[in-house]
Every structure is written in C-alpha cells, then in structure tokens.
Structure 1
C-alpha cells in the first residue's frame, strides 16, 4: 500500500487510475486494502470493482468514486472508510456491508446506496455539515443514513425506487442523527422485532398511516419534516391538510402519540408536514396521522379514563371545535341526564353537572353512558361510550 499512497497525487492521477482498473480486475475480484491507504489533496480515485477495507483509510482528501455501468458494486471489510468528496455512479447500486463516511460533498450521479436494513449499525454517513447533489427516486440512500452537524438537513432516504426525505431544523445543535424510510405497513414491519399497532393511538388522533413510516434517532428538541407523495395515499388518511399530524410511536406505552402540525406544504398528492418535537429521544418511529378520518366531519371516541395521567382524561369529539352552536347531552344507563354543555369543547372529565336527582359536580361511576350530540343544520349523533376508572 505504500506505493499506491505515494502515487496518489495530482501529477500521477491518470496513471494510478488505469493501474488500479487493469491490474486489480485481472488479478482479483475485489480491491482489498489491508494497510494504510490515503488519497492526497486534489487526488482522485475510481473504484470499478468491489472494495474490501480491512486496513486504515479515514483521512482521505480529494475525490473517490464508485463506477460501474453493468453490475452492482459492494463495499465491505472490517473498517469504515472516510472520504472528502464522494461520487456514486453504479447502474445497479452500491451495496454497503461496512459504513462509508463523507466529510464534504456527495454526488448522486446514478444508482442507490443500499445499506442492510437488518443491521442499523451499517450507515452511509454525512460526517461534517456536508452537502449532496443529484438525489432522486433512483439516487438516494436506501437504508440508514447518518448526519452530524448544526444546520438544517434533509436526509436523502428512500425505499426501493422512491425517495421520501426526512428533514430536521438542527440549528445550534451539533449532534449525530440517523434516519431511514420504510415503505411498509407499521403493523407488519419486516426488519423490526416488534410492530407498531396502528389501532393503538391517543384519543386526539383518528387514523394512523398503514402505508409507510420513518426511523429517526436523535437527542434534541428540533423541527421534524416528513414527506408524502402519491403512493402515501394521504387522501385516504385526511380530507384536509390541516387535519394531518406527525405521530410518534411510544414504545413504553405502546401507543402512537400526537406530535402536532406546525405547518404543511403542497396538496394531498405531494407535500410535507412539519412539527416541533420536544424531545426526539422519546421516539424512534414516526409516520403521518390525522385527527379526522378522510370523509368524516365529527368522530366521537367511545372511551375515557379520567385518572389524571394526561391520556384519555376527557371525552374527545374530533372536529367539534369547528362546529359552533353544538349541544352535548350525556345520560346514564337509567336515562337520567348527567351532563350537558353548549358549544362542547372536549372538556367533559367524568364530572356530572346536570339533573336534580344527581348532585352536580359529582364524580360519575365507571360504566356505560349514552350521548346525544346536536349539530346545527345536521342530523343528531347518538351513541355510547365507557368511563373506566
């Protein structure tokens, strides 16, 4: 490796490239580094065959690229390689079995960079506030990407031949973050031990996407942005962008949590949703959710647990905030009115406020109750719900 190290300079650039291409292809099926390999300032190297790195090669300068218009290429070995500038132009993709890091600029010319989804320790790493160009549905990181820096960054991640970026507003937080996109039903993920039940969610949500989800690992309060396209079927999730929310999976309570919506762009076919996440360390799995099922205007939830834990403490009626002039009546199983409120605002917490035979401000017992919801210029809604204590 000492000879190659000496040759990597601007004056010998063309000769070295030809030397590697011809000699290594005829002698072996992969370029193997077992010593110290270094690309000097302004030097360039092109790998046209597989690379196995069992040596040291982390202080490279100049440009390194993987090129093949006929076959896929593999990068493997015991140790990670780091490059200053990096290009991938591989028709059938570059497959990483060992991580690669880049300090400056990444050029997605042709083909994807694949990492094994069963091994999140293997990543394509954007190491130092670096940038990239040329990304698209056929040119992205299909698997796990890592970023370290303190500015706004959009992870060029996707699954198969579709890119679905995840972006962060990371100003003044120089930390390391990891992201991946999964075009899979959260209920049946293929590369996770556990699943993420889309029927288990906070009462402030009404529907969780069963089309896709993102993995994101972070440690700080930051803005998170998810992307949707036609394949996301957002029109089946919500009728209006204002109803959309980012949801995060709480793996302690096994429930999807409403993480809000501070802004959206686009339409129901293509767009983005952003929300401020107070502590991204609380969640690892994210997706797009809605507070109202597409086509629904009002949804009454059928259970509440008024125990003061911040979950399901009140009777939630989604969409009621936008219907002034509504009236809510709640009856016990004997048909006695126990609660009523004009312009209901999701505040019923299991305390009676009506009927002379039932003391006002009395805590209602656990059990089944019935409601009638009167809506102006619409048919009344009626049904039942449970109070669990």
Structure 2
C-alpha cells in the first residue's frame, strides 16, 4: 500500500514551510521513497538550497518552481511526477535550475494551452501527454528534453508540446510537437551515437516571408505555404539521420495531396545557397508520411512540396521492394523490371543509419544484383551477409525520349528477409 504524505506548514518545517498561505517552499533535503506519494496542492518552490530526490510519486496541483536540485536516484525507475494544476487556469513550470524526472504526466484541460514551461526539464522514462498542451517557452528559458530511452504516449491535438523538443540518444524518435491546436509530428531515424541529439519544432505558418518560395530548384513545383518544421543538430552531433514528416488534410494544402500524395517530397531551405532543395521522399499513404530516402544533406527548416511529375521515373520501370534470398525462386534478389533497357544505371542501398551497404552500376547484367550481401561498400566487407530489416535504395538511370537524354532518380524502401 502506498503511503500518502501531504506536506503542510507544520510538517517537516526544517525542509518545507509556508512562505504565504498559498505557497510551499523547500530549502533543505527532501527524499521521496519508492511507493510514497507526495501532493502539493499549493504553489511549490524548491529554493537554491533545496535538494529533492523523488523516487516515489510527486503531484503538483499549483505552480512549480525549481531553483535547486530536483531529480531521482540514478538507475531508479520509480520516480514519477504529475502536473495537474487543478487550482490554476494555466499551470506554470518555471525555475533557473534543470529538473530531471523519470516518468512524468501532464493532465490538465485547457482552451489553448494548459502548461507554461520556462524551466529546463528532462525525462528518462515515459512522458504521458494525457491532456493539455505544453507551451515550451524557449525565449523565457524553457527546455524539454527526452533523454536516452525516453518515450511519449497519448500525444494528440489536445496534448502535445507547442515549441522545441530535444531528443538525446541513438534511438528512432517521433517528436510530440504541434502548433495552433494541431499535433504535427516529425520523426528521425536512430542517430549513430548515444551522445547525439537533435531538436524538432513545428510551425503552423507560411515559411515564404522568411524563406522565399520563388528560390527553389527546378524539380520543385509547389511548396507548402501553411506549415514548416525546424530540425537541428546540436552541439557535437556528427553524421545524419533519415527524416520523416507527416501530412494532415486540415493543415497541408490540398494541391500537394493530389494524385494520392504520390508527388510529395521533403524540401529543405539551404541557408548557404538561400534556396529550397529537394531531399527526396518515400510516400506512405497509410501513415500519411513522407520519408527521405537517404540521410538528409543538412539541417534547419523543412517542409513538404510537390515535384514536377514529368521529371519522375517513367512507368515502364517496376521495382519490387521485397527481397527473400532463400532459394525458392521468388524475390531471391532485388528485382527491377525492365532496368536492362537502361544499362547506364546505378543502384545504391543504405541501412537504417544511412550507411551505404551496396552499390553497383549496370544493374541486373550478368548476375549483377543485390541478394542481401554487401558489395563495394566502405562500411562493410564485400560478401558480408546483411541482417533482416528495412533498407533504402536509390536507383539512377539514363532515360532517352524524343532524342533527349536525362538521368532519372528513384528512391524508396526495401525490406530484406535474410534469415
């Protein structure tokens, strides 16, 4: 049975006391043991001398302010913090010192947003965005960090983070971000190093005033004028990731979603060239997402765009994206129908981290095909058997029509079953 402890003006006065009739202050050491519940019904302030180690459950119904230490025991998995703000219109989460939580719950209904975050908070466990939008006020010192292993649940239009979210660690991550009452996530593949971290933020506004849509490469026909994302590498993060953006008929222009959204791509504002460039895109209509086929060339501002269909792969090339090299005569290699008509071609295949594992030219000539083994790769030994999983391919070939030749580029997912 959990012990419930309600701290008041007369309880543990050496640690907690009432500064005003509606304010509780900690100036000493406070440890909350596992299976212990603490509730603060009034505003809570942890002063600079305060040291809170929460391995139990700590509920905050008033404002929260941290100027000292608020954390949990290293390797402890029971520290749980709840922000419910039942006696506040908007619950403030503030303070100049970082707050570290294991699991944390946000549960407060609101019309626009329910939580005003100006504190640096981080979670190593599960962030339950059950109810209420968290306004991450970066200009006032707000930071929202998901540490290695951290996840989020129940994210929706009514419960997400409006502002920048940081992810640390080498795991695939979907940012719980939104703006204007819409949850509009971006997602990154697993970074190479545990120390890597990336930020993500969504803006329900036209990017054109800051990043002119007239400045674009020739393949881009139409750029999303209603929304954009900012995804950044931070500190000493090296390498790159695959990027996924979502679309939503309520925010994404209908013109971009014509033809079942098959012409969608991810585009990036190249700050050095002051130009929108095509990062490619693999469309998943069931998930309503677009994913870059390989790691992105740079970071910053991204959005969705429609490409010119007359510059896309002709219909006479058919790609089968399942490879099962088990010798049964079905999909034993990566099949690209009719590629033999275009011998001036190249195929490159990458793993989930964007590392090239296979490349060749004049594909499907004299047995020159991908059978689930590395080839001509700087990252793996030739002939090394590759593990089962999802890979990404880029096919380029020279196409001639009306006596005019041009290079066609196609990218997409490839699933390998190599047991």
TM-score normalised by structure 1 residue count: 0.67
| Structure 2 gaps, min length 5 | 1-12, 17-28, 318-399, 408-419
Corresponding residue for residue 250 of structure 1:
270
- Verify the 8 A CA contact 2:31 2:54 in the aligned structure 1: no
Distance verdict in 2 for CA 1:320–1:147, change over 3 Å: closer
| Structure 1 gaps, min length 5 | 189-194, 299-317, 325-339, 348-389
Q: Shift in Å at residue 10 of structure 1?
A: 4.3
Distance verdict in 2 for CA 1:65–1:186, change over 3 Å: same
1:81 to 73, 85, 99: 99
Corresponding residue for residue 204 of structure 1:
219
Corresponding residue for residue 315 of structure 1:
none
Corresponding residue for residue 372 of structure 1:
none
Structure 1 runs of 4+ with >6 Å offset: none
Corresponding residue for residue 239 of structure 1:
258
Distance verdict in 2 for CA 1:239–1:40, change over 3 Å: closer
Q: Shift in Å at residue 227 of structure 1?
A: 0.3
Corresponding residue for residue 68 of structure 1:
85
- Verify the 8 A CA contact 1:123 1:143 in the aligned structure 2: no
> Number of paired residues?
287
Q: Shift in Å at residue 96 of structure 1?
A: 0.8
Corresponding residue for residue 136 of structure 1:
156
Q: Shift in Å at residue 78 of structure 1?
A: 1.2
1:291 to 298, 307, 327: 307
For 2:293 and 2:158, locate their aligned partners in 1 and report how far apart those are by CA, in whole Å: 30
- Verify the 8 A CA contact 2:225 2:253 in the aligned structure 1: no
Larger strand share, 1 or 2: 2
The two structures, once aligned, show a CA RMSD in angstroms of: 2.7
Larger helix share, 1 or 2: 1
**Alpha-carbon displacement from aligned partner over 1:283-331 (angstroms, at most 9, x marks no partner):** 2000001113xxxx65xxxxxxxxxxxxxxxxxxx4695699xxxxxxx
2:176 to 136, 156, 168: 156
- Verify the 8 A CA contact 1:157 1:179 in the aligned structure 2: yes
- Verify the 8 A CA contact 1:221 1:276 in the aligned structure 2: no
**Alpha-carbon displacement from aligned partner over 1:366-385 (angstroms, at most 9, x marks no partner):** xxxxxxxxxxxxxxxxxxxx
2:290 to 269, 273, 283: 273
1:95 to 116, 119, 129: 116
Corresponding residue for residue 352 of structure 1:
none
TM-score normalised by structure 2 residue count: 0.62
Q: Shift in Å at residue 65 of structure 1?
A: 1.2
Q: Shift in Å at residue 156 of structure 1?
A: 0.8
- Verify the 8 A CA contact 1:56 1:79 in the aligned structure 2: yes
Q: How does 1:25-36 map to 2 (within 5 A)?
A: 25=42, 29-36=43-50
Q: Shift in Å at residue 223 of structure 1?
A: 1.1
Q: Shift in Å at residue 343 of structure 1?
A: 5.0
Q: Shift in Å at residue 152 of structure 1?
A: 1.3
